[in-house]
Structure 1
Amino acid sequence: MALHGWLLFVAAVVVLCGTPGPNMLHVLTRSVALGWRGSLPAMAGCLTALVAVLAASAAGLAAVLTAVPGLFDVLRYAGAAYLAWLGFRAWTTRSAPVDIGSTELPRARLFRGGFLVGISNPKLLLFATAFLPQFVDRTQPQAPQFALLVATFALVECLWYGAYALGGTSLARHLTRPGVRRWFDRATGGIFIGFGTALLAARA
């Protein structure tokens, strides 16, 4: 892989990862409730899901979705339902945003929540399948190139997680008033429901 190709990939990924989406919103809301350190397990869960999807795409597993058309729809409906459920919880629960019921949740539960948010968008699999190969030199061994691309994507994603987590920690200072916190919960809940609706309306 040529250096200029990798730099172009980095530039594209910086923009893609920084764009607000379910993962970033989840990290933001976790850091609001738990602080940036407390949100680390959720970040790890989101990142694990992301790397798993990217690795599956690099391995060519998206072909399975093509061979079994109904499978993608099942995943799409499940992902949309989960995101909508997160939005409903955020809208109806005053104590904390999104799916948080306590500020002392076990790390395993935080990790699981982050992983489910990250894995709930099956279109990421198809996106990664179309995106990653654009930066691979077919004349060179492909496995090391895919490994480099996935590692780069994961690193950039981590940096953005940190930025959103710090932003959530700062935002938490302004959410001590119940009325403001309720507005935040409902706003994030509405956004999650919007993500779920958009996923449900999308077509492979």
Structure 2
Amino acid sequence: MSIAWTLFVPACFALNLAPGPNNLLSLNNAARHGFAIATLAGGGRLLAFVGMLALAASGLALVLHTSAWSFLAIKLLGAGYLLWLALQLWRADAPSLLTDPRPSRPSLWRLSRQEFLVAAGNPKAILIFTAFLPQFVEPGQPLAAQFAQLGAAFLLLEWLAIALYSYAGLRLGRLLAGQRARRLFNRGCAALLGSAGLGLLLSRRPA
């Protein structure tokens, strides 16, 4: 699989680094709560991807390809959750909260759950595992072992992307010490998340 890996790694990492909703969450979480919290919270995303990999490996993901209703249901849930997150982020850090001298500690469980739900609510994510990964599987070789190796590599590269976005968010957080700057940053992230939700809402099932 040497040739396949040479092509797979850069193509996969490009997908991992794409500025999607989950990477935006890592960026914002790091700016608000720090590098460690954002990186650990990204484990929720990885857990969702493990489930998608299992579905793709077992062939159950074909339902998503063939069923317009399944795609529509997941799309509506995912888009609705993204829009709800955008609203919460837009309203976050109101002046009354910013002046609170005892800010509450972030809930790692809550942030991990957000990462999980955003990843699980995006039907295009599972299509990556059913349309992208199989291109690098060599016929005639053990399929399960190859898929497991490719899936593990995808998760490792995804974790690296989480760390990179979290580091970028940490650096941004140091520049956002002022109340106005942090409010603008949160609202900018909210606008991007809302745009992602609308984009998901308007997306169509691949033919």
**TM-score, normalised by the number of residues in structure 2:** 0.90
Superposed counterparts of 1:25-174, under 5 Å: 25-94=24-93, 103-174=104-175
C-alpha separation in 1, matches of 2:2 and 2:151: 16
Distance 1:65 1:19, change over 3 A: closer
Cα RMSD after superposing both structures: 1.6
Aligned to 2:100: none
Report the Cα offset of residue 36 of structure 1: 0.8
Report the Cα offset of residue 190 of structure 1: 0.4
C-alpha separation in 2, matches of 1:153 and 1:50: 9
Shift >3 Å, 4+ stretches = none
Report the Cα offset of residue 46 of structure 1: 1.1
Residue 21 (1) aligns with residue 20 (2) = yes
Report the Cα offset of residue 103 of structure 1: 5.0
C-alpha separation in 1, matches of 2:17 and 2:108: 25
Report the Cα offset of residue 160 of structure 1: 1.1
Alignment partner of 1:180: what SS?
A: helix
Q: Which amino acid aligns with 2:199?
A: A
- Residues 80-130 of structure 1 show CA distances to partners (whole Å, capped at 9, x for unaligned) of 00011111111122259xxxxx65133322221111122121121123211
Report the Cα offset of residue 170 of structure 1: 1.1
Distance 1:66 1:18, change over 3 A: closer
**TM-score, normalised by the number of residues in structure 1:** 0.91
- Residues 127-174 of structure 1 show CA distances to partners (whole Å, capped at 9, x for unaligned) of 321111100012111000000000000011111111111111111111
C-alpha separation in 2, matches of 1:195 and 1:171: 21
Maintained 8 Å contact 1:79/1:196: yes
Maintained 8 Å contact 1:55/1:150: no
Aligned residues: 198
Identity among equivalent positions (%) equals: 39
Maintained 8 Å contact 2:33/2:106: no
Q: Identify which range, 107-116 or 24-33, moves more after superposition.
A: 107-116
Q: Which amino acid aligns with 2:71?
A: F
